[in-house]
């Protein structure tokens, strides 16, 4: 491999630790103009000279030439390495002259080409999915399977994108380790880095100004701030994930939604700060197939925290849990109790512990119903809401009944 010295300013500071990132799954997401693609193209060129074979994909093949292909060629020239590469514009490949390693390009809309692509020497060690939010989960799984075979290099699958909606498969698949208000997270297999235009020292003043003056709320959140946006009629946007303080402020609350086979039981332990209107969700349980005896054993360690608010539609289960020594009580359900509970919760600040991936997933996907013409109705979809129901039950006593409404769109903020 040729000896290459990168100047201190050739790679943005936020990305420098990731030049040798060895995580299997690597996520680079955030706002427009953050330099994600430039960095990954630069790293790809350097990795090829070190013997890595990389497949770069986008959903549509024709978009590759004007994006990833050009970005990689610009990285080669920027680093002064053109003489070390054989460039084929016919089949869109770059081959390192020192070791035969290659950079290959393909669109996911050409399934047969993806199946037949293989490097000239060795095996694929890397896949880079650019604009990964355009790609299907099935494509990701197939590409993951392509990373196999003997190699001295750790296999890596990299996804880069601007975030869209938190009900996207990427969020569900990887972001259980993520904490909002931070810009990095990792586990043994996954690393996630969030960047924005502020991390890109090469951006022009005009580019910065255009991003900062964006007027559309959705585009400002996604492309300026690099946050996951809300495209669908999602009910809850007033939540985030972060490490909880020690000790957690507020009064303890517990809620339980019954279930058994198809529907799981959902349980939450949380604390509520009344003056601050802040809910701290500390722990969750989401289990299927539990008998009431199993459920009692699961919840017994939480009995010391106080009475557990339960769905009043299950009086037999409540009575059995009482007989097993659990401090449980039914909630008081009245007219429009669901709509009222949702309205009240939307007025609070909800902070989730990273230990609550189930509630995180429910809040991200919980939506209003639509009528046959697509208009939003003031009723939530009754599915995937077991922990949300437990949240309502736990806080029922804190909800001011004088605020109850009949479920009008205005009352629910629609």
- 146-198 pLDDT, tens digit per residue, is 999 999 999 999 999 999 888 789 998 999 999 988 999 999 999 999 999 99
- The DSSP bridge pattern shows strands 265-273 and 328-330 to be unpaired
CATH numbers and ranges of domains, the chain: 15-224 (3.40.50.300), 239-403 (3.30.420.280)
Q: Which residue would you say has higher pLDDT here, 336 or 308?
A: 308
In this model, does residue 409 exceed pLDDT 70?
no
* Structure tokens, 16: 């420098």
CA distance 234 to 236: 6
Q: What is the pLDDT of residues 324-373, one digit of tens each?
A: 999 999 998 766 788 889 989 999 999 999 999 999 989 988 888 877 76
CA distance 194 to 68: 20
Q: Residue 160: what pLDDT?
A: 97
Q: Which residues pair with 11 in a beta bridge?
A: none
pTM higher than the cut 0.75: no
- 31 neighbors 197 (Cβ within 8 angstroms): yes
Q: Residue 404: what pLDDT?
A: 41
Q: What is the pLDDT of residues 59-109, one digit of tens each?
A: 888 888 888 999 999 999 999 999 999 999 988 999 999 999 999 999 998
CA distance 120 to 410: 63
DSSP one-letter code for 223:
I
At residue 146's C-alpha, the angle toward residues 64 and 162, to 5°, is 45
- The DSSP bridge pattern shows strands 349-352 and 278-287 to be parallel
- Structure confidence at residue 403 as a pLDDT band (50, 70, 90): very low
Q: Residue 410: what pLDDT?
A: 55
CA distance 158 to 43: 12
In this model, does residue 413 exceed pLDDT 60?
no
CA distance 16 to 195: 13
CA distance 346 to 338: 12
CA distance 204 to 212: 13
In this model, does residue 406 exceed pLDDT 70?
no
Q: Could you give the percent of the chain with pLDDT greater than 70?
A: 93
The residues, ordered by sequence, that sit 6+ positions from 155 with a Cβ below 8 Å of its Cβ are 24, 124, 125, 126, 147, 148
- 235 neighbors 342 (Cβ within 8 angstroms): yes
Q: What is the pLDDT of residues 232-280, one digit of tens each?
A: 678 898 999 999 999 999 999 999 999 987 789 999 999 999 999 999 9
CA dihedral sign, ordered 297, 298, 304, 310: negative
């Amino acid at each position: 491999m040729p000896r290459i010295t990168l100047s201190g300013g050739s790679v943005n500071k936020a990305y420098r630790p990731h030049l040798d990132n060895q995580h299997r799954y690597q996520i680079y997401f955030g706002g427009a103009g953050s330099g994600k693609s430039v960095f990954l193209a630069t790293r790809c060129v350097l990795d090829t000279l070190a013997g890595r074979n990389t497949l770069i994909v986008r959903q549509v093949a024709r978009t590759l030439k004007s994006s990833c292909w050009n970005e990689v060629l610009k990285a080669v020239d920027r680093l002064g390495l053109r003489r070390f590469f054989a460039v084929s514009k016919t089949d869109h490949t770059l081959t390192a002259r020192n070791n035969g390693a290659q950079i290959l390009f393909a669109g996911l809309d050409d399934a047969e080409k993806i199946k037949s692509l293989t490097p000239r020497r060795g095996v694929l060690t890397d896949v880079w999915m650019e604009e990964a939010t355009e790609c299907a989960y099935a494509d990701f799984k197939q590409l993951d399977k392509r990373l196999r075979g003997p190699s001295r290099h750790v296999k890596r699958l990299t996804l880069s994108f601007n975030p869209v909606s938190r009900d996207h498969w990427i969020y569900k698949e990887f972001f259980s380790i993520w904490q909002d208000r931070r810009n990095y997270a990792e586990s043994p297999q996954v690393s996630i880095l969030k960047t924005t235009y502020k991390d890109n020292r090469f951006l022009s003043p005009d580019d910065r100004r255009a991003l900062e003056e964006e007027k559309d709320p959705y585009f400002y959140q996604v492309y300026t701030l690099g946050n996951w946006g809300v495209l669908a009629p999602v009910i809850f946007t007033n939540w985030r994930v972060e490490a909880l303080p020690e000790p957690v402020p507020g009064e303890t609350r517990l809620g339980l939604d019954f279930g058994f086979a198809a529907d799981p039981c959902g349980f939450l332990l949380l604390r509520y700060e009344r003056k601050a209107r802040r809910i701290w969700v500390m722990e969750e349980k989401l289990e299927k197939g539990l008998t009431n005896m199993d459920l009692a054993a699961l919840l017994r360690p939480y009995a010391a925290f106080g009475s557990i608010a339960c769905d009043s539609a299950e009086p037999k289960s409540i009575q059995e849990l009482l007989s097993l020594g659990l401090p449980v009580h039914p909630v008081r359900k009245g007219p429009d109790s669901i709509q009222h509970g949702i309205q009240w919760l939307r007025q609070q600040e909800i902070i989730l512990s990273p230990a609550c991936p189930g509630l995180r997933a429910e809040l991200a996907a919980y939506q209003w119903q639509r009528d046959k013409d697509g208009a939003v109705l003031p009723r939530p979809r009754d599915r995937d809401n077991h922990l949300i129901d437990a949240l309502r039950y736990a806080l029922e006593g804190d909800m001011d009944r004088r605020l109850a409404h009949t479920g009008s769109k205005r009352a629910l903020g629609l």
